[in-house]
C-alpha cells in the first residue's frame, strides 16, 4: 500500500503525463489536419476533433494573454508539494516529460508562440473547414 506521500507523487506524475498528452494533441492535431487533408482523411475534419483542437489551443492562448498559469501545472506543483518533494525532481519519466514541456524563456516568447500557433489553427479552419470532405490544396474549388 503506497504512503500518502507516494500517492501524491503518483498523482503528480499522472497529471504531468496528462499535460504532455494535451500538449501533444494541440501540436499533432494541427499536423494531422494538414496532412490528413492532403491525404484525404475525412476524420481530420470531423466536428468533434476540430472543436476539441480549437478549444485546446484557445485555452492555451487565453491563459498566456491573461497571465494565468496552466491549471495542470498548478495542480502538479500542488501535488508535489503535498508529497513533500521539490517540484520537477524525481524519476526518469518525470525528468523527460518535464524536459519536453518546460523551457526557460521570457513569458512574452511563449505568448507569441502560442498566439502564432493559434492563428495557424484558425487558418486551418478557414482553409480546411470542419465538416467538409478532406481535400488537398490542388483539389480546392473556388
Contacts of 100 (CB under 8 A, 6+ apart): 20, 23
The x, y and z cell numbers of residue 70, run together, are 496552466
The domain limits of the chain are 4-134
> CA nearest 118: which of 73, 42, 48, 64?
64
Tell me if 121 sits within 8 A of 57, measured CB to CB: yes
Which residues make Cβ contacts (< 8 Å) with residue 111, sequence separation at least 6? 64, 65
Give the largest Cα separation in the chain, rounded: 64
pLDDT at 94: 56
- Reported as a single tens digit per residue, the pLDDT across 94-141 is 566 667 767 777 788 888 989 999 999 999 999 999 987 765 555 454
Q: Residues 67-84: pLDDT tens digits? A: 988 899 889 989 999 998
Amino acid at each position: 500500500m503506497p504512503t500518502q506521500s507516494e500517492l501524491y507523487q503518483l498523482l503528480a506524475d499522472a497529471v504531468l503525463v496528462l499535460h504532455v498528452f494535451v500538449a501533444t494533441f494541440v501540436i499533432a492535431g494541427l499536423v494531422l489536419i494538414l496532412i490528413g487533408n492532403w491525404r484525404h482523411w475525412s476524420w481530420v475534419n470531423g466536428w468533434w476533433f476540430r472543436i476539441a483542437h480549437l478549444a485546446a489551443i484557445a485555452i492555451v492562448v487565453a491563459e498566456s494573454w491573461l497571465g494565468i498559469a496552466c491549471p495542470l501545472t498548478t495542480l502538479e506543483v500542488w501535488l508535489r508539494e503535498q508529497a513533500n518533494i521539490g517540484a520537477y525532481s524525481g524519476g526518469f519519466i518525470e525528468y523527460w516529460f518535464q524536459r519536453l514541456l518546460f523551457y526557460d524563456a521570457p513569458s512574452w516568447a511563449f505568448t507569441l508562440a502560442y498566439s502564432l500557433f493559434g492563428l495557424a489553427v484558425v487558418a486551418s479552419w478557414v482553409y480546411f473547414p470542419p465538416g467538409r470532405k478532406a481535400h488537398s490544396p490542388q483539389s480546392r474549388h473556388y
